[in-house]
Each structure stands twice: as structure tokens, then as C-alpha cells.
Amino acid sequence: MPGTELFGAEERKEIEDVLSTGVLFRYNHDALRNNHWKAKDFENEVKKITGAKFAHAMSSGSTAVATALAASGIGTGDEVIVPPFTFMATIEAVLFVGALPVFAEIDETLCLSAEGIKKAITPKTKAVCLVHMCGGMADMDPIMKVISDHNLILVEDAGQSFSSSYKGTSTGLFGKAGCYSFDFFKIATAGEGGVMVTNDETTYKKADVYSDHGHDHIGAVRGMEQHPYLGFNYRISELHAAVGVAQTRRVPQIKEKNRANKKMLIELLSKTPGVSFARLPDPEGDSATCLNLLLPDTATAQRVVDEMKAAGVAGFDYWFKNMYHFINQWDHIKEMRTVSKLPIEILGAPQDYKNLHLPKTQETIGRLISFGIKYKWTEEDMRTLAGKISECVTKALKTENV
């Protein structure tokens, strides 16, 4: 969690700016603000890093995805191709705008593959919600060809991959709209927060209205603003945005250190038989927040996990059994257990979620173990960690051969 490793005077200064005025609301109250507009500053910092023409900060990455889908014209009854490996908020956002998730295969990029998307397309497919996982990026050239050939809308959830890129273009800027998360576990944090980016002004304006009860934000009196569309409250507070401002300014230095740390770990672990790494379509665009190990097969990976737990190795995720990020554990989605009825329960699901056939995904995630890269690791820390991982892998492989 690099962002949270670096809380300091910069964050405190931005927060104190807000507290000194008492204006915690992101809109209006111009005379009281002393020219402090932290949400706007946050958006500008995101634009500097991504190159986006427009950025809109919201209460979370989850609400940013929901807003991006809605502002891109995706709604009730639309089939949206999604990955089975993602934080479940991606799927929730699709469901809550009334759309119908269609799960497709990922590959060793840990993201949807062009082949997986193509095979999942039906006459009812309207969009793809592509997720850039674990600090990396999807293989965008072949994916964009499929998107173009089938005239689909692309929305990108780059919640885990802020500041990553593919051939010079930031993740989040290939489609109609893209989103980043700034929760507690990301490269930069606002505590809670998210940002939607787009290069399309119409999409941006719809998102701005949709995420604040339909207000058009024209004029100085909030109670007299017009309402072009229905919306809801997905606003970010000035306090959260203040933290996001300071944290986002740190991202270039965090990414530089992340990459150096990840490079060293890869060099050390490359010498260990049985260890390979998730594929990066553009290594130069890696935000390097995660070290993603691929073991020979699921059984070996599970033995490695057991060995690491026994050895006291911490800081890793075995996604195959993770409750939040992999479809195998999403019983509430498979059984459509809802608090209130959703459109999918009336329209019907486009797939049998209990009996999906996604062999490439199962094989890939079964082999995957991810470590979060830490900014403050010393060379000694990394040599020790790599040594323990290598020892655990070697033991697991020996066990297999016994």
C-alpha cells in the first residue's frame, strides 16, 4: 500500500486548508472557501498523470464505475461483457445500472483477452467493462480491434491500475470512459474516493450531472440549478479530495520506487525453478503495485501458499480462494441474493452463473499468487522475502515429486 506508507505534512496541509474554511462540500459556498477547491485540484492532478481531457472525482471507485457505465449510455437490459477476476464492485456496478453481466475468459495478463471477449459476444452485447488488474494492463491492440469490429462501447475499470499505461496511453482512456479507485489499498489513497476520466465532453457532462442528483452546476445558487437528467449522490467530500490531492502528487515517485523494487524481486525470483510471472503487454507502462507470480499449476500454487503460511510469509493474496475478487466465491451473485429486486431478476440472466465454463480463467487464477509492492522496502527486506518465497516454492515442488 504505497500511498498509505507516505502520509505526512503534505496531506495534513491540504486537510487543514479545508478545515480552516469549514466548507467540506465540493460545490458552491465560493465566498467562504478562501479559494480552496480540493475536488477540482484532485481532478487536475489526475489529468496531469493520465493526460485525460476530463476528470470527475466521486465518492469511490465503485461509484465511478457505475457513473461511467450510465454516462456511456449503458442501462437496463444491455449485455455487458465482464471479467470473472476483478473486485466485485465491477459486477455490482453493471447490475445496479440494470445491465446484464456476461462473464468472459481472461488470459495471463490477468485481464479479459480479445479472444475471450469475442467468444462472449451475442446479438444483445452492447458494451465491455474491461478491468486492468493488479497494477498492469490488458492487451489493448487486439481488444480494441474486437471493440471496433463489433461496434461495442468500452468502459475501463482501472481501479487497481492508476498511472499504468499501454503504448503511451493511460489505462482508462481507450474507451468511452475509465475509472480509478483511491481507496485505502491503492497506489494513492483518498481514504475513500474514485475518479472517472474521459476524452469525450458529452460523457463528462453526463457524469457530472448524474453523480450529483441531476444538478447541472450552472449558476451560483444550488437550489436554483436545472436538472437535465435524473441522478444520485455519488459526490466526494472536500476532506477526502484533500487527501487525494496530496497523494496523487506523490504517484510519480511512488511508481519509480515500485518499479525498482519489483525489478529486483523479479531478478531474484527468476532463478527459482517453477516461478514465472503474469504477462505485461507493455512493461514500460507498469504501475508496479503488484508482483504477480504464476506457478506451474493450481495444486502447486496451493502447496506454496501452505508453505508460505507455515513460514510466516505475509503480504500476499491467493486470488483463487479470495472472497472478493474471484467468481468461485461469489455465491451471492450466482444465486442472485438481493436486498431488493434488480432488473436481471425480471429479464433473466444471459448465462447460468452457477455453471460457467471458463477453463483458461480457472487455470490462470489457480496458479496466481500476488504480493503487494511496498515503497519502503529495503534491499535486505527484498532479499529476505525473495529467499523465503523461493524456499517455499522449492519445498512445494519437492512435495509434488515425493
pLDDT band at 3 (very low <50, low <70, confident <90, very high): confident
Instruction: Write out the H or E segment, with its range, that includes residue 129.
Output: strand 125-131
284 in the same domain as 188 = no
375 in the same domain as 284 = yes
**pLDDT at residue 223, as a whole number:** 87
pLDDT band at 401 (very low <50, low <70, confident <90, very high): low
Domains contained in the chain, number: 2
245 in the same domain as 274 = no
- The phi, psi pair for 82, rounded to 5°, reads -135, 160
282 in the same domain as 214 = no
- Whole-model pTM? 0.96
Q: What is the mean pLDDT of the chain?
A: 96
CB 179 within 8 A of CB 65: yes
- The phi, psi pair for 301, rounded to 5°, reads -60, -40
**pLDDT at residue 77, as a whole number:** 97
315 in the same domain as 216 = no
pLDDT band at 402 (very low <50, low <70, confident <90, very high): low
Domain boundary among 226, 250, 274: 250
CATH code (residue 37): 3.40.640.10
| Residue 61 confidence (pLDDT) above 70 | yes
For residue 27, tell me if it sits in a domain: yes
**pLDDT at residue 4, as a whole number:** 85
Cα distance between residue 97 and residue 114, in whole Å: 25
Q: Dump pLDDT digits (tens) for 362-395.
A: 999 999 999 999 999 999 999 999 999 999 999 9
Domain boundary among 250, 284, 306: 250
| Residue 1 confidence (pLDDT) above 80 | no
Average pLDDT for 216-221: 91
263 in the same domain as 225 = no
- For 225, the 3-state DSSP assignment is coil
104 in the same domain as 225 = yes
Contacts of 383 (CB under 8 A, 6+ apart): 268
Contacts of 281 (CB under 8 A, 6+ apart): 109, 136, 137, 138, 139, 140, 166
For residue 367, tell me if it sits in a domain: yes
CB 311 within 8 A of CB 153: no
Strands (E), 25-90: 54-58, 79-82
88 in the same domain as 221 = yes
For residue 339, tell me if it sits in a domain: no
385 in the same domain as 273 = yes
| Residue 27 confidence (pLDDT) above 60 | yes
For residue 352, tell me if it sits in a domain: no
Domain that holds residue 59: 3-250
Cα distance between residue 167 and residue 159, in whole Å: 19
Q: Dump pLDDT digits (tens) for 96-144.
A: 999 999 999 999 999 999 999 999 999 999 999 999 999 999 999 999 9
For residue 342, tell me if it sits in a domain: no
For residue 211, tell me if it sits in a domain: yes
Question: What proportion of the chain, given as a percentage, has pLDDT over 90?
Answer: 96
Q: Dump pLDDT digits (tens) for 279-313.
A: 999 999 999 999 999 999 999 999 999 999 999 99
CATH code (residue 384): 3.90.1150.10
269 in the same domain as 134 = no
Q: Beta 276-277 vs 290-294: how paired, if at all?
A: antiparallel
198 in the same domain as 71 = yes
Average pLDDT for 11-26: 97
**pLDDT at residue 400, as a whole number:** 63
269 in the same domain as 235 = no
Q: Beta 290-294 vs 153-157: how paired, if at all?
A: unpaired
For residue 86, tell me if it sits in a domain: yes
Domain boundary among 221, 250, 279: 250
| Residue 2 confidence (pLDDT) above 90 | no
Q: Dump pLDDT digits (tens) for 32-49.
A: 999 999 999 999 999 999
| Residue 220 confidence (pLDDT) above 90 | no
pLDDT band at 15 (very low <50, low <70, confident <90, very high): very high
Helix 298-311 to helix 379-401 angle (10° resolution) is 130
Average pLDDT for 22-35: 95
Average pLDDT for 172-199: 97
Average pLDDT for 267-275: 97
**pLDDT at residue 361, as a whole number:** 98
For residue 331, tell me if it sits in a domain: no
Cα distance between residue 16 and residue 309, in whole Å: 42
